[in-house]
Structure 1
Amino acid sequence: MNGTLSPEPTIDLANTEDAVASVLSSEPRARRGRRRRPRFALWISLVVIGLFTFLPIYWLAVTSVTPDGEVFSFPPRLFPTEITFEHYISVFADPAIFEYLRNSIIVSVITAVLSVVVSMYMAYAFSKFRFRGRTSLMYFVLSSQMFPQALLLVTLYVVFAQFGLLNTYQALIISFTTFTLPLCVWMLKGFFDTLPDDLIEAAKIDGAGHWRTLHSVILPLAAPGLVAAGLFAFVRGWNDFMFALTLAGPEKQTLPPGLVNTFIGETATAWPELMAASLLVSIPVCVAFILLQRYLVGGITAGAVKG
């Protein structure tokens, strides 16, 4: 020991930064690749689903504005070289289309109102009352959905024929309401289950009976569920083809069978006019879904989480 201090080791900052960078970049490439694969697969799935969903709608719109001479051209064209609106003019010039439209509106609106009115009382009873046979009756209502609707067509035809209801609005409304009730009941029951029983107890303390409690307290809170059930019943009556074709005569037919009878013949089919009419009659349902979307989502998902 001569009393001299040894020099302190020096740190090379450049080498240190390179070492840190090499450590950070040493993550296996396979792991980074695995992170990218799910995103890539997700985007591919979204593109495929989007094409599957929107390509028919696009083709329907393109065909409706394509001239007759180019409709059957081969190979088919995704983008028409010429656009015409004569097919829409033909649809608006046909008075039968407006008759079918009126029939669809009458049948669908009454079906929706009747389904909501009947199902809300049934659902409220199943949700808030306890009585013998309640569970069995609930599953009995749900079991009616197990039978194919086409299987009941012959029976309903015979029954309506005996009561003189064929070729009337009543036959269609009763049929559609019968088929929509089970799902509407279970949908509203799930919504009523989410409403606390304390509301009913508070209404009883204030002197309200069951009818007053339901109409003044429960139903205002159940508006999303009522809208969802009504929209489901409306679409069921609007889109039905088989029962509307069989139970209703030419004067009472709704749009689906009416469009088929108008534009599809034995020897030829007016595809551009049919596409134009189909696009026009889809607009009311699309507008209803857009305007009532938040109520529809809230009503359908209300029964999923009980709290």
Structure 2
Amino acid sequence: MTTAPVSRRRLVERPSKTAYTTLGILSLFAFIPVLWMVLTSFTSGNDIFQFPPAIFSRGYTIDHYVAVITDPVLMRFVLNGLFVSITTAALSLVVGFAAGYSFSKFRYIGRSPFMFAILLAQMVPEVLLLLTLYTSFNAFGLLNTYAALILSYTTFTLPLSVWMMKNTFDAVPDELLEAARVDGASEWRIMWSVLLPVTRTSLIAVGLFSFIRAWNDLAFALTLVGTEQQTLPAGLSLTFLGEFQNSYGPMLAASTVTSIPVVVIFLVLQKHFVSGALSGSVK
């Protein structure tokens, strides 16, 4: 009597070969631009626009990589991007952790409207606020400073960060916090010694999200700061893209080099990122 339901359950749980084939084709389709970027970065300038594209018969060169690595201007863009991205991730973690804990475990006047306002801020397209941010930063003398980029990026990463952390704290039993309070622990001690270890995966997810958001931005880096403070996407577009000539070889070489750290970080922390994102999305 139980054989048929068990077999049907196994058929449901086990993906079919068609599903694996479909996922493989979609993954290959998504990987083609990356493969093309890497191959083109090793291709000499005269062969990049060859038609038909003889990908595996070209004469390859590492001159583009040498030019990128030895260019101090590009290295400054990389350092700017690292500084802005790491600072944005740190601010998002600190504020998101504290705000999520407050919304989840405390009840006070204005809590619900403030939570709704944060959620509403996530729905507003970022580009629509660019002019407002530019005017505000100009009034406070923050244009052409790292603070302009960090504050603008943190503004857009905080809503998701706060709600992810709130949902994570909702899953933490109140009895655990009450036991710590009975033992004489302060709220700061509870956050540091009790909540920080149990919410580690969600914190990693928030940090990765905030870092990648700041690292990949182009519009704000082109508008709010000058050349000295610009991050890598803006630096690449200004260095290699022009009105009459585009240096695609060095640009793709620089894109490949600067993509490696993000890919490595994501691969190392992938398990924590997925589990943290899932734990912060549902109660």
TM norm structure 2? 0.91
Across the two proteins, how many residue pairs are aligned to each other?
270
1:184 aligned residue: 161
1:129 aligned residue: 106
Secondary structure, counterpart of 1:227 in structure 2: helix
Structure 1 distance, partners of 2:216, 2:245, is 24
Q: Deviations over 1:95-122 (max 9, x none)?
A: 1101101100110111110111011110
> What RMSD over aligned residues (CA atoms) do the two structures have, in Å?
1.6
Asked whether the equivalents of residues 62 and 80 of structure 1 are also in contact (C-alpha less than 8 Å), the reply is no
Alpha-carbon offset, residue 40 of structure 1 = 5.5
1:56 aligned residue: 33
Alpha-carbon offset, residue 93 of structure 1 = 2.0
**Counterparts of residues 135-284 of structure 1 (less than 5 Å):** 135-284=112-261
Asked whether the equivalents of residues 65 and 85 of structure 1 are also in contact (C-alpha less than 8 Å), the reply is yes
Larger radius of gyration: 1
Amino acid at match of 2:141: G
Q: Which runs of 5+ in 2 are unaligned?
A: 1-14
Closer, same or farther: CA 57–193 of 1 in aligned 2, 3 Å:
same
Amino acid at match of 1:128: K
Structure 2 distance, partners of 1:207, 1:80, is 72
**1:106 correspondence with 2:96:** no
Structure 1 distance, partners of 2:190, 2:17, is 53
Closer, same or farther: CA 303–162 of 1 in aligned 2, 3 Å:
closer
Q: Deviations over 1:21-73 (max 9, x none)?
A: xxxxxxxxxxxxxxxxx946424422331222100000000000111221111
Structure 2 distance, partners of 1:158, 1:262, is 27
Structure 2 distance, partners of 1:47, 1:109, is 34
Closer, same or farther: CA 39–207 of 1 in aligned 2, 3 Å:
closer
Secondary structure, counterpart of 1:198 in structure 2: helix
Q: Deviations over 1:116-172 (max 9, x none)?
A: 101111000111112233233212111001111111111111111111111100000
Q: Deviations over 1:216-265 (max 9, x none)?
A: 11112111111111111111110100000100101110000100111111
Secondary structure, counterpart of 1:214 in structure 2: helix
Structure 2 distance, partners of 1:117, 1:46, is 37
TM norm structure 1? 0.84
Structure 2 distance, partners of 1:112, 1:87, is 31
Secondary structure, counterpart of 2:55 in structure 1: coil
Q: Which runs of 5+ in 1 are unaligned?
A: 1-37
Structure 2 distance, partners of 1:303, 1:253, is 32
2:3 aligned residue: none
**1:42 correspondence with 2:51:** no
Amino acid at match of 1:241: L
Alpha-carbon offset, residue 304 of structure 1 = 4.7
